[in-house]
Amino acid sequence: MKSLFIYLCILFSSVLTVFSQNSSHSIIGTWIGDLKVGATLQMIFTVKGPFILTGTLDVPAQNAKGIPLTIEQRVKTMKFIVESINGRFEGEFKDSVTLEGLWRQGGGAFPLILKKNDTIRPALLRPQTPTSPFPYKTEDISFPGPSGILAGTITYPHSQGLFPALILITGSGLQDRDETIFGHKPFLVLADALTKQGFAVLRLDDRGIGMSGGSAEFATTKDFSDDILAGINFLKKHNSINPKKIGLLGHSEGAMIAQILAAKYPKDIACIVSMAGPGISGAQIIETQTQTLASLSMTPSAAAEAVQQQRNLMNIVINEQDSIKAEQKIIDSLGYWAVKKKEILVVNSPETKAKLKQIMSPWFKYFISYNPKENLTKITCPVLALNGSLDIQVQADKNLGAIKNGLEIAKNKHFTIKKIDSVNHLFQTCKTGQIDEYNLIEQTIEPKVLQEIISWLELYLKK
């Protein structure tokens, strides 16, 4: 759930092709607009010429720079095609400095207005991001994982001794060791705060990301838990780590991974910290998300239809074992939904293919089938569960209540359940909790959340 499932993913590619024609308007220059896809993303298209047009896309909020694009220009219209992410902008010149149109990706079409030579907004400050030199040891490490070499960073105090350690676990969608999102580096902030208080911290690039090898194409949450298990085994052999004091801190889907491991390997895990972790099934989480987001822009009846559509798709994925039949049922369902919205589903389009791949992925099936209760009722190590009162992605009350019930069934004697007021899914102090705030907030993690975690770990991991 890595800041969970609803933000636009930008990937990199080196492919570049060019096609151009004459136009009464010059496309050469920088074109900038704000794309609203839950979050607000600044899209920067740069076109160079004059004879052969070349172009790139930057999305600063996602640290995406220089993504090649194909340019198709007509007299009054323009296409920027970004093959590597199956996305494209189709726009029409309203005047010499304005392109109005749609960004299409993942089966969705989102309004986007581009202005030429507009002033690029300066990057927002991220004052909590620590910078070197650090007052502790920093060691880049690597070790074998189930799918390939896993790479990361371990930090620990300068003093001698065996230190209690935490592994930080990212959530859904592949991210680097700092869990970088919208310029924020929450895991770097966490690692810095924890190491200054005497804890060792290991944070890892997800498989296939950064310096880590392997592939996540067919991986599930269970496979990612095996990566973290390899991290536990690595820490046990480190000469500065107390092998009996290794805890897990998971954010969102990372908390799912912590649940899986704490239930299966109780002797190896000293405690877990769950940040925005689930207590209800993945299917219920997605239904709740859909209801919350749909209600912001739809009538109650339309929102209910959107939830039912999501439920129909998940039921097909869970219950239909024949992949060919499942794909056809999903296409039929998407086609029916398109008709309801007075749209046309093009089955062979890149957008539809991308959506089918996502819906039918092993990860999605595992996630929506996952019921935390099966693991929570087996966890006896100390647990700290924190969720934000304004989190619209993993709703606090529903999930914290279910976590509490599961741990009580396990007869767990040492757990703390807490809803943090006025923070969102990333644990930023916010006003609405909506995704489009994430990028605009300079704070990476509310300091009282950091202190809550540190104080609890002083009791349950250090002693």
Mean pLDDT (whole number) for 331-339 = 88
In 3-state terms, what secondary structure has residue 287?
Answer: helix
Q: What is the CATH number of domain 29-116?
A: 2.40.128.120
Handedness of CA 278, 280, 286, 287 (dihedral sign): negative
Give residue 379's pLDDT: 98
Domain ranges of the chain: 29-116, 137-281+370-460, 282-368
> 371-386, pLDDT tens digit by residue?
999 999 999 999 999 9
Mean pLDDT (whole number) for 261-273 = 98
Look up the pTM and report it.
0.80
Strands (E), 267-406: 272-275, 383-388
Q: How far apart are CA 123 and CA 120, in angstroms?
A: 9
Q: How far apart are CA 338 and CA 336, in angstroms?
A: 5
User: What are the b/e assignments for 171-182, b being 16+ CB within 10 Å?
Assistant: bbbbbbbbbbbb
Give residue 4's pLDDT: 33
Element (H, E) at 289: helix 282-297
State which of 91-105, 132-146, 170-184, 352-366 shows the largest mean pLDDT. Answer: 132-146
Q: How far apart are CA 77 and CA 92, in angstroms?
A: 4
Give residue 17's pLDDT: 22
Top CATH class of 137-281+370-460 equals alpha beta
The tokens of 56 are what?
Answer: 């790139």
Residue 451 pLDDT > 70: yes
Give residue 89's pLDDT: 94
Q: Are strands 241-251 and 163-169 parallel, antiparallel or unpaired?
A: parallel
> 434-448, pLDDT tens digit by residue?
887 898 899 999 999
> 219-239, pLDDT tens digit by residue?
999 999 999 999 999 999 999
pLDDT band of residue 7 (cuts 50, 70, 90) is very low
State the residue for tokens 């940040």.
Answer: 275
Q: Are strands 200-204 and 149-156 parallel, antiparallel or unpaired?
A: antiparallel
Average pLDDT over the chain, rounded to an integer = 89
